Amino acid sequence: MADPRTLRLNAADNVLIAIDTVPQGAALPGGITAARTVPRGHKIASAPIPAGAPVRKFGQVIAFAGEDIAPGEWVHEHNVMLKDFERDYAFASEARPLETLLPGETPATFEGFRRADGRAGTRNYIGILSSVNCSATVADFVADEVARSGILADYPNIDGVVPFTHGTGCGMGSKGEEFDILARTQWGYASHPNFAAVLVIGLGCEVFQIPRLKEAYGITEGDHFQSIVIQESGGTRKSVARGVDKIKDMLAFANAARRETVAASELSLALQCGGSDGYSGLTANPALGAAVDMLVRQGGTAILSETPEIYGAEHLLTRRAESEDVGRKIVDLIEWWRAYAARAGGELNNNPSPGNKAGGLTTILEKSLGAVAKGGTSTLRGVYRYAERIDRKGFVYMDTPGYDPVAATGQVAGGANVLCFTTGRGSAYGCKPTPSIKLATNTDLYRRMEDDMDINCGDVLDGVSIEEKGREIFQTVLEVASGTKSKSELLGYGRNEFVPWQIGAVM
């Protein structure tokens, strides 16, 4: 019988993960012998772990040994403890100097669009934003009319004219967090480097006023930004005609954009996970984390989000924070979410369930790490509010809900110009203007939904190393950033997935 498969998630780990059931006495990598039968998904010590020493998985502390644990021993509830770890944020205690390329290493590049503000785009769209649901249909009609006219055939450097409609923009307060979030989101899209230009369409009497947006962000109308108000234009037909005219006026300017070689440090990678399964934390998420570490060493940016899904692992992020200041922002977010959930009559609870424990997840840290693992291991350089412009390089955090389209909308508004989305159950997500790359956590899903999945991370269970998979992801990110279409782009996704966070009451 072949040796049972095991998985080492990170070079710094002192545990292996059993992919198959490991029988007592089985030979394991590193000359270790299984001290007893260990169920699949569970942990086996790969080195001596003295009592009180950290148990490391994903390169991060998930617990402490409750007794001396010998190599080959099963590591689970019976022999670990969390001590005061959960109450100790140990701010910045594991921060590292800025990660950089090794001497002699060639900087990675991609072919991108350099924009006037210095940022780099990976796509060259014209966007049609709507201030409110009441102008959504006109936004759609303008895009449809432009497409129907066939005129885009004469402007081959433009990736498309895309409407971004949504359900909000009125029936809300004219000040406060709800309004501010929508303003940041709209401005984040309006100024996104993947747009050559945007047209914003409003109704006129909505709460979310275009003139207020322009004033707040110092926007002047010109080549990059135009707006239309339906009530001022004389209704639907005239607004559509005006909109089409304005788009036509943008085409020459937008088509003049050319791809040029740009350093990978200009990439801003949004990290997403939806429809996760038992493999997410073993394959796709740590492999994406390895790619993130590579991108960060190149000077690029990676954005972890989805606060309800990292709940319980905040202590890991505070330790990895660059400073106490940065770490405190994570703690503040967690506190905010606790109150938000309570106000909504629910609670945040990420504790491992009995089913989780039977599957091998010992602590809340370990469970949340399944999600955090896609953020790699580098130092946390900044913490951002939903849809806030990301202005730091390296690994950063943006507060968002866990709900995929809402989370990704915030990250794209923050400037993400490429997105990696891990899924175990099989998400059908796609995004514009930012290309989304979908990573299957298991081979079965990859085969079942091959039209939707870009990368199979299931082969990690068959012996492909996390490091190797990370390189494949990183390479795909560079290719997609350079113009290769992702699966969801080939399918045509992205008109429905703009969903700004509605944080408050709809009135």
CB of 402 to a second copy, least distance (A): 6
Structure tokens at 28: 């394991």
The C-alpha atoms of residue 80 and residue 63 are separated, in whole angstroms, by 6
Instruction: Verify binding: residue 165, Ca ion, rule CB under 5 A.
Output: yes
Q: What residue spans of 13-150 are helical by DSSP H? A: 136-149
Judge whether 284 and 441 are in contact, CB under 8 Å.
Answer: yes
Query: DSSP per residue over 181-241, as a string?
Result: HHHHHHHHHHT-TTEEEEEEEE-SSSSS-HHHHHHHHT---SSSEEEEEHHHHTSHHHHHH
Instruction: Please choose which of a second copy, Ca ion, none residue 428 contacts, taking the beta carbon within 5 to 8 angstroms, the exact cut-off set by kind.
Output: a second copy
Instruction: Please choose which of a second copy, Ca ion, none residue 476 contacts, taking the beta carbon within 5 to 8 angstroms, the exact cut-off set by kind.
Output: none
Q: Which is nearer to a second copy, 79 or 209 (by Cβ)?
A: 209
CB of 404 to Ca ion, least distance (A): 4
Name residue, tokens 């029936």.
171
Among the listed residues 81, 151, 341, 464, the single contact to a second copy using CB under 8 A = 341
Instruction: Please choose which of a second copy, Ca ion, none residue 135 contacts, taking the beta carbon within 5 to 8 angstroms, the exact cut-off set by kind.
Output: a second copy
Residue 252: which residues within 8 A CB-CB, separation 6 or more? 155
Query: DSSP per residue over 414-449, as a string?
Result: TT--EEEEEESS------SSS-EEEEESSHHHHHHT
* Strands of 225-229's sheet in order across: 160-164, 125-130, 195-202, 225-229
Residue 85, Cα to own-chain centre: how many angstroms?
27
Q: Which is nearer to a second copy, 4 or 281 (by Cβ)?
A: 281
Among the listed residues 404, 454, 472, 489, the single contact to Ca ion using CB under 5 A = 404
Instruction: Verify binding: residue 127, Ca ion, rule CB under 5 A.
Output: no
Residue 62: φ, ψ to 5°:
-110, -15
Structure tokens at 79: 């022999």
Instruction: Please choose which of a second copy, Ca ion, none residue 188 contacts, taking the beta carbon within 5 to 8 angstroms, the exact cut-off set by kind.
Output: none
Q: Which residue is nearest to Ca ion (CB)?
A: 404
Instruction: Please choose which of Ca ion, a second copy, none residue 426 contacts, taking the beta carbon within 5 to 8 angstroms, the exact cut-off set by kind.
Output: a second copy
Among the listed residues 126, 321, 406, 460, the single contact to a second copy using CB under 8 A = 406
CB of 237 to a second copy, least distance (A): 5
Q: Which of 8, 12, 105 is nearest to 377 (CA)?
A: 12
Instruction: Verify binding: residue 274, a second copy, rule CB under 8 A.
Output: yes
Q: Which is nearer to a second copy, 25 or 504 (by Cβ)?
A: 504
Site for a second copy in 6-45 (CB under 8 A): none
Residue 232, Cα to own-chain centre: how many angstroms?
39
- Contact flags string 255-294 toward Ca ion, x per CB under 5 A: -----------------x-x--------------------
The C-alpha atoms of residue 34 and residue 500 are separated, in whole angstroms, by 50
The C-alpha atoms of residue 346 and residue 340 are separated, in whole angstroms, by 9
Element (H, E) at 109: strand 109-114
The C-alpha atoms of residue 283 and residue 372 are separated, in whole angstroms, by 13
Judge whether 208 and 227 are in contact, CB under 8 Å.
Answer: no
Q: Which stretch binds Ca ion (CB under 5 A): 96-104, 241-249, 292-300, 395-403?
A: 395-403
Instruction: Verify binding: residue 290, a second copy, rule CB under 8 A.
Output: no
Judge whether 23 and 48 are in contact, CB under 8 Å.
Answer: no
Instruction: Please choose which of a second copy, Ca ion, none residue 272 contacts, taking the beta carbon within 5 to 8 angstroms, the exact cut-off set by kind.
Output: Ca ion
Q: Which is nearer to a second copy, 253 or 403 (by Cβ)?
A: 403
Q: Which stretch binds a second copy (CB under 8 A): 129-137, 184-192, 265-273, 290-298?
A: 129-137
CB of 138 to a second copy, least distance (A): 6
Q: Which is nearer to a second copy, 202 or 299 (by Cβ)?
A: 202
Element (H, E) at 394: strand 394-398
The C-alpha atoms of residue 92 and residue 321 are separated, in whole angstroms, by 5
Among the listed residues 17, 128, 138, 383, the single contact to a second copy using CB under 8 A = 138
Among the listed residues 23, 25, 52, 346, the single contact to a second copy using CB under 8 A = 346
Q: Which is nearer to a second copy, 394 or 414 (by Cβ)?
A: 414
Instruction: Please choose which of a second copy, Ca ion, none residue 308 contacts, taking the beta carbon within 5 to 8 angstroms, the exact cut-off set by kind.
Output: a second copy
Q: Which is nearer to a second copy, 89 or 164 (by Cβ)?
A: 164
| Chain residues that interact with Ca ion, rule: CB under 5 A | 165, 272, 274, 306, 402, 404, 407
| Chain residues that interact with a second copy, rule: CB under 8 A | 133-138, 140-141, 165-167, 170-173, 176, 203-205, 230-231, 234-239, 274-275, 308, 340-341, 343-346, 401-406, 425-430, 448-453, 491-497, 499, 501-507
